[in-house]
Amino acid sequence: MSEPLRGIVLAHADLAAALVGAARSIAGDDTGLTPLSNAGCDRAAIAARLEAAIGAGPALIFTDLAGGSCTTVAATVARNRPELRVVAGANLAMLLEFAFHRAEPLDAVAERVAAAGRAAVREVGR
């Protein structure tokens, strides 16, 4: 059986560390998630941080803002690399979905977490 997927959360300032910390507080320490920040980095430095975290892959990369520097760099790094997928708009629901299903194939997990993230955004209390 192959290794569970690795997840990398790449986001602005301290957001990734906070999101991964929150995911661990709910799902336990074995979430498979690594937080990365773009702080102080140009695009090349963000890419270098990301490559170091990816290792041999396969990996699912979560980014915060579609169109932000984290997302454009992640998409560039993942281009033409089937062992990598990128999902923008990271939220806690998405990361928890990943933590509990990361033994599944990469493409299935990417679809699953994107759906979970979308479903978690809703107006409540009305």
List contacts with other proteins (CB under 8 A).
12, 40-45, 65-69, 71-72, 75-76, 79
CB 15 within 8 A of CB 38: no
Q: Which is nearer to other proteins, 12 or 101 (CB)?
A: 12
Q: Which is nearer to other proteins, 12 or 24 (CB)?
A: 12
CB 50 within 8 A of CB 61: yes
Q: Which helix (H) or strand (E) holds 112?
A: helix 106-119
Least distance (Å) between residue 68 CB and other proteins: 4
Q: Which is nearer to other proteins, 28 or 40 (CB)?
A: 40
Least distance (Å) between residue 37 CB and other proteins: 12
What whole-number distance in Å separates Cα of residue 24 and Cα of residue 32? 10
What whole-number distance in Å separates Cα of residue 83 and Cα of residue 107? 9
Least distance (Å) between residue 71 CB and other proteins: 7
